[in-house]
Amino acid sequence: MKAIVIENYGSAEELVEKEVPMPELNDKQVLVELHATSINPIDWKLREGYLKEMLPFEFPIILGWDAAGIVKDVGADVSDFQIGDRVFARPATTAKGTYAEYTAVDEDLLAHIPENITFEEAAAVPLAGLTAWQCLVDFAEIKEGDKVLVQAGSGGVGSFAIQIAKSFGAYVASTASGKNEDFLNQIGVDHFINYKEENFEEVLEDYDIVLDTMGGEIMERSFQVLKKGGKLVSIIDQPDEQKAQEKGIKAGSFWLNPNGRQLAELADLLNRGQVISTVGHTYPFSAEGLREAHQLSETHHARGKIVIKIK
Ligand SMILES: NC(=O)c1ccc[n+]([C@@H]2O[C@H](COP(=O)([O-])OP(=O)(O)OC[C@H]3O[C@@H](n4cnc5c(N)ncnc54)[C@H](OP(=O)(O)O)[C@@H]3O)[C@@H](O)[C@H]2O)c1
């Protein structure tokens, strides 16, 4: 099958097309014919070699950890999925990712794609949507009436986080630059903050939850908007535990744990129109398409998700 791989760490020029063997299935896996995948910053962080100690994969590495497609084969123990089903997943983190025509996915990581969304829209959801869900629901235990600040609401994780928080009945503030104000208002933000003109910590107070997608000094400043008993969850850095104790808040860093059951809950929100998948940019499935997609993601100024149309 065709895949776009890297055979060395380095720039986007390392992305090349290669014929690779079809994935082999174990009894609990499903073979997915991929129709779309999406880009996440982990793709180019891994490509550059930043994660080589944490994820010491052997070359060639097929990057990509968002799958949307059609079931072509099922393992002997698979019970909830059948050939022909439309499915999506954040597959396990292996060197056999989703910049490929086919991928093998563990059954418990899969969910059915709602009928009202396309493969491209579906491919945008799993990694970013599950990260947002787990930060807000599992870590921060979001509830109706909470005041929630989402940093970088126009990004992949942020745009899902805003909508998930709204679906729980939260009041949501979010940061982005002025060009994204209309977009954030459309997806439900109650208080938009243009980070180029305002300091969020000067205009927000007594927040219950901050979802930090930026780290560094933005994470540090995020402490100031939280009330006692509030929660700071960062997907970038480890917040200072002593500072959190002094302020009486729960703070932690979070790493996504793929989960098909939670993806099915997101599918339900998508089906009801409470969450919309924002595909900001689409590229073809070629070495050139992937290179351009990576270069855009590396600017850290893409809107919504960057999707690769495979079929
Ligand atoms: N721990 C985990 O499990 C996990 C999971 C997923 C992602 N992540 C990490 O989380 C980060 C965010 O991922 P993502 O996919 O959401 O990124 P993304 O889609 O690339 O985010 C891009 C967005 O960030 C906004 N932005 C840039 N600088 C900003 C600033 N100073 N203040 C507010 N917004 C700003 C941009 O808006 P403007 O153009 O308007 O500036 C743009 O829309 C990445 O570093 C990624 O690796 C971690």
Determine contact, residues 120/145, Cβ cutoff 8 Å.
no
Q: Where are the beta strands (DSSP E) in 64-162?
A: 67-74, 86-89, 102-106, 110-112, 147-150
d(CA 225, CA 139): 18
Ligand 1 atom 12: residue of nearest CA: 213
How much distance in Å is there from the Cα of 137 to the middle of ligand 1?
A: 19
Grade residue 271 by pLDDT with cuts at 50, 70 and 90.
very high
Q: What pLDDT does residue 223 have?
A: 98
Ligand 1 atom 33: residue of nearest CA: 152
d(CA 222, CA 201): 7
What single-letter DSSP state applies at residue 135? I
Determine contact, residues 63/46, Cβ cutoff 8 Å.
yes
How much distance in Å is there from the Cα of 95 to the middle of ligand 1?
A: 24
Determine contact, residues 172/191, Cβ cutoff 8 Å.
yes
Q: Which residue from 235, 238, 257 has its CB within 8 A of the most atoms of ligand 1, so it is best to mutate? A: 235
Give backbone dihedrals phi and psi of 82, rounded to 5 degrees, phi first.
-130, 160
d(CA 294, CA 44): 6
Q: Strands 305-309 and 279-284: what pairing?
A: parallel
What single-letter DSSP state applies at residue 108? G
65, two tokens: 């950890």
What single-letter DSSP state applies at residue 248? T
How much distance in Å is there from the Cα of 30 to the middle of ligand 1?
A: 31
Q: Which residue from 157, 218, 296 has its CB within 8 A of the most atoms of ligand 1, so it is best to mutate? A: 157
Each residue's pLDDT tens digit, 89-102: 999 999 999 999 99
CA 243 vs. chain centroid, Å, equals 28
Q: Strands 226-234 and 250-253: what pairing?
A: parallel
| Residue 144 to residues 212, 226, 299, Cα–Cα distance (Å) | 20, 17, 35
Q: What pLDDT does residue 300 have?
A: 97
d(CA 196, CA 21): 48
Q: What pLDDT does residue 154 have?
A: 98
* pTM of the entire predicted model: 0.98
Give backbone dihedrals phi and psi of 179, rounded to 5 degrees, phi first.
-65, -15
In the structure, which protein residues have their CB atom closer than 6 angstroms to any atom of ligand 1?
40-42, 128, 131, 151-152, 154-158, 175-177, 179-180, 195, 213-214, 235-236, 254-256, 297, 300-303
How much distance in Å is there from the Cα of 296 to the middle of ligand 1?
A: 12
Q: What pLDDT does residue 60 have?
A: 98
Taking each continuous run of H as one helix and of E as one strand, the counts in the chain are: 10, 16
How much distance in Å is there from the Cα of 212 to the middle of ligand 1?
A: 9
d(CA 300, CA 297): 6
Ligand 1 atom 31: residue of nearest CA: 195
How much distance in Å is there from the Cα of 45 to the middle of ligand 1?
A: 13
Kindly report the number of other CB atoms within 10 A of residue 113's CB atom: 25
Ligand 1 atom 23: residue of nearest CA: 155
Each residue's pLDDT tens digit, 70-129: 999 999 999 999 999 999 999 999 999 999 999 999 999 999 999 999 999 999 999 999
Closest atom of ligand 1 to CA, residue 153: 34
Q: What is the mean pLDDT of the chain?
A: 98
Nearby residues of 53 by Cβ (< 8 Å), 6 or more positions away: none
d(CA 111, CA 238): 31
